């Protein structure tokens, strides 16, 4: 049990180090990533809307069926 607790602490410390490590991440890189993501959303906007409508339609019909039971 003690080994499990030590491993958990080691993993938590490692994750904290990764989160705090900003080496190589400059402002320009982050801005470029955001620009690319926005561009992809604009290009595939109709496809994304179609997928979301399908998913939410399925959820809605599932809720409606569950409510009738």
pLDDT greater than 80 at residue 8: no
> In this structure, are residues 32 and 25 in contact, taking their beta carbons and an 8 Å threshold?
no
Q: Give domain status of residue 19, yes or no.
A: no
Q: Using alpha carbons only, how large is the chain's radius of gyration in Å?
A: 22
Classify residue 42: in a domain, yes or no: yes
Instruction: Judge whether 53 lies within some domain.
Output: yes
What is each CA distance from 16 to 12, 20, 32, 39, in whole angstroms? 6, 6, 25, 32
pLDDT band at 1 (very low <50, low <70, confident <90, very high): low
Residues 6+ apart with CB under 8 A from 48: 41
Classify residue 12: in a domain, yes or no. no
Q: What is the pLDDT of residue 35?
A: 96
Task: Convert the pLDDT of each residue in 18-65 to its tens digit.
Answer: 667 666 668 888 889 999 999 999 999 999 999 999 999 999 888 888
Q: How many domains does the chain have?
A: 1
The whole-number pLDDT of residue 10 equals 79
Domain containing 35: what range? 24-69
Note whether residue 41 is domain-resident.
Answer: yes
**Burial class of residue 23 in the structure, from the number of CB atoms within 10 Å of its CB (0-12 exposed, 13-18 middle, 19+ buried):** exposed
Give a yes or no: residue 35 inside a domain.
Answer: yes
């Amino acid at each position: 049990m003690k080994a499990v607790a030590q491993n958990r602490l080691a993993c938590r410390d490692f994750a904290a180090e990764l989160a705090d490590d900003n080496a190589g991440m400059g402002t320009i890189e982050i801005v470029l990533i955001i620009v690319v993501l926005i561009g992809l959303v604009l290009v595939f906007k109709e496809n994304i809307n179609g997928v979301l409508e399908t998913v939410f339609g399925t959820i809605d019909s599932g809720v409606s069926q569950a409510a009738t039971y």
